[in-house]
DNA sequence: CGATTCTTTGAAAACAGTCAATCTGTGTGG
DNA sequence: CCACACAGATTGACTGTTTTCAAAGAATCG
């Protein structure tokens, strides 16, 4: 359970973490299992955890007045899930996070996170790298979102996250891209025809 | 020139930086003036600098095959400008950055940045906070982009950055929102009618 | 197997983009 | 200082894309 996490830390920081240092990290993160459709965060409440996904898949989304879901982000094995804004500022979130499959998570509260960052320089570095990547990924997403037409968005998705197409229902992928499920279906058909 | 930067650092970190520590920072950042329309970064080249805007305004944008500009980000006084992806990875950028007004900047190269981060814990903390804010801002931008219709996007812009409307030409604001200048104009008229 | 959820398809309507012409304001050079 | 040029904004008509609504078909799950 923690082994995967340890590998992840080594990889992302290009280092080998010592037993002593990993000890601190292990203590800060609790194991949490979630069944499909269970919620990690409900709109209106403060985000409790920063969650590392060991197994399973989740989504981070909002629901508008008309009841439509808008998926901001997916998460799979080796990804983090949290509403950083809510977690950091301890403010009510406008988002939901729930499990799309049964999940195994490692979770830490905001205080625990801060403590590990102090105790483990490697973890601190990881957090920094993570923010950076997140920032870059989001910028690319913004770029795709303002530049691309529906079919380009789908092609972009197919290129960047080909596994998502197998793994998640199309209506969710459509929501992620900001297009309707019907458009997704039609564009997809058109692309496959080539 | 550096005074504004010093205030900024104090504010964002909620601390008061010592003369000695600020000395390191001052040494790492060079003053750079830019005339309107001058480029800080050209598509295809590696981003040289992380720039702090003391005065003026800039834009960060791409140009597609059809020659259309897509503005990913604006920058004004007290904001940072750079293509983080290109700067960090030292890879060719797909973006341009140029000055929309005459600018006074403080610039540091990637190596200089890394050095200051080591020398100044406060600067390091600032960098971290910056990434976090950037990350959150970009996420909200993604959210707005996939959820909102044209008029909601404009209303959102008017709420978050009311000063941009005075400061930047409409066609650029339209590009920032991912809508055509004509649609911007029409939606704007419609909103003002109320 | 039945029920639910997801996907596909069609037709109509809403929306945004394009093209072209006009209008406005600003700044530059004569 | 004026006139002209130019960039930006607005408007109208048209086109094309995307959404919406509705219904039918396919797949999945208990």
What tens digit of pLDDT does each residue of A1-16 get? Answer: 899 999 999 999 999 9
Q: How far is B64 from chain A (nearest CA, A)?
A: 8
Q: Is the CATH code 2.60.120.10 the one for domain B2-120?
A: yes
What tens digit of pLDDT does each residue of B74-103 get? Answer: 999 999 999 999 999 999 999 999 999 999
The alpha carbon of residue A186 and the mean position of all alpha carbons in its chain are separated, in whole angstroms, by 27
What tens digit of pLDDT does each residue of A91-130 get? Answer: 999 999 999 999 999 999 999 999 999 999 999 999 989 9
What tens digit of pLDDT does each residue of B138-185 get? Answer: 899 999 999 999 999 999 999 999 999 999 999 999 999 999 999 999
The residues spanned by each domain of chain B are 2-120
B194 pLDDT band, cuts 50/70/90, is confident
DSSP state of A178: T
DSSP string covering A87-120: HHHT-B-S-EEEESS-EEEEEEEHHHHHHHHHH-
pLDDT for A35 equals 94
How crowded is residue B81: how many other Cβ atoms within 10 Å of its Cβ? Answer: 26
A193 pLDDT band, cuts 50/70/90, is confident
**Mean pLDDT value across residues B49-71:** 94
- Cα separations in angstroms, A152 against A50, A112, A159: 32, 42, 10
Asked whether residue B189 carries a pLDDT value surpassing 80, the answer given is yes
DSSP string covering A161-176: -HHHHHHS-HHHHHHH
Q: Which residues neighbour B71 within 8 Å (Cβ) at sequence distance 6 or greater?
A: B59, B60, B61, B172, B175, B176
How would CATH label the architecture of A2-145?
Answer: Sandwich (2.60)
Structure tokens at A111: 């205080």
Is the separation of the CB atoms in A116 and A28 below 8 Å?
yes
Structure tokens at A148: 């691309």
Strand D: positions under 7 A of a protein C-beta atom: 7-13, 17-22
CA A6 to C1' D23, in angstroms, rounded, equals 52
C-alpha B137/C-alpha A110 separation (Å) is 20
* Residue from B136, B175, B180 whose CB has the most chain A CBs within 10 Å, to mutate: B136
pLDDT for A65 equals 85
* Residue from B47, B65, B138 whose CB has the most chain A CBs within 10 Å, to mutate: B138
Q: How far is B175 from chain A (nearest CA, A)?
A: 8
What tens digit of pLDDT does each residue of A65-91 get? Answer: 888 999 999 999 999 999 999 999 999
Provide the chain B residues 142-161 that lie in CB contact (below 8 A) with chain A: 142-143, 145-147
Q: How far is B103 from chain A (nearest CA, A)?
A: 24
A46 pLDDT band, cuts 50/70/90, is very high
Provide the chain B residues 79-118 that lie in CB contact (below 8 A) with chain A: 84-85, 88
DSSP string covering A33-100: EE-TT-EEE-TTSBP-EEEEEEES-EEEEEE-TT--EEEEEEE-TT-EE--HHHHHHT-B-S-EEEES
Nucleotide nearest to A180 (CA to C1'): D19
CA A59 to C1' D16, in angstroms, rounded, equals 33
C-alpha B142/C-alpha B135 separation (Å) is 11
B65 pLDDT band, cuts 50/70/90, is confident
* Residue from B69, B141, B143 whose CB has the most chain A CBs within 10 Å, to mutate: B143
Chain B hits for A178, Cβ within 8 Å = 145-147
Q: Is A67 on the interface with B (CB under 8 A)?
A: no
Asked whether residue B67 carries a pLDDT value surpassing 90, the answer given is no
Asked whether residue B111 carries a pLDDT value surpassing 90, the answer given is yes
Is the separation of the CB atoms in A73 and B138 below 8 Å?
no
Chain A hits for B138, Cβ within 8 Å = 135, 138-139, 141-142
Decide: residue B11, CB within 10 A, 0-12 exposed, 13-18 middle, 19+ buried: exposed
């Amino acid at each position: 359970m923690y082994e995967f996490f340890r590998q992840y830390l080594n990889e992302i920081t290009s280092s080998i973490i010592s037993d002593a240092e990993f000890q601190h990290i292990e203590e800060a993160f609790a194991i949490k299992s979630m069944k499909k459709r269970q919620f990690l965060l409900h709109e209106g409440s403060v985000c409790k955890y920063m969650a590392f996904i060991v197994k399973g898949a989740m989504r981070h989304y909002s629901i508008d007045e008309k009841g439509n879901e808008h998926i901001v982000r997916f998460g799979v094995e080796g990804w983090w899930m949290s509403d950083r804004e809510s977690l950091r500022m301890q403010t009510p979130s406008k988002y939901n996070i729930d499990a799309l499959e049964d999940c195994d998570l490692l979770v830490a509260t905001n205080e625990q996170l801060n403590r590990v960052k102090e105790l483990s320089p490697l973890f601190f570095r990881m957090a920094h790298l993570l923010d950076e990547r997140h920032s870059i990924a989001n910028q690319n997403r913004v770029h795709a979102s303002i530049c691309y037409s529906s079919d380009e968005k789908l092609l972009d998705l197919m290129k960047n996250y080909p596994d998502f197409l197998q793994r998640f229902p199309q209506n969710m992928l459509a929501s992620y891209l900001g297009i309707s499920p019907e458009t997704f279906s039609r564009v997809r058909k058109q692309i496959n025809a080539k």
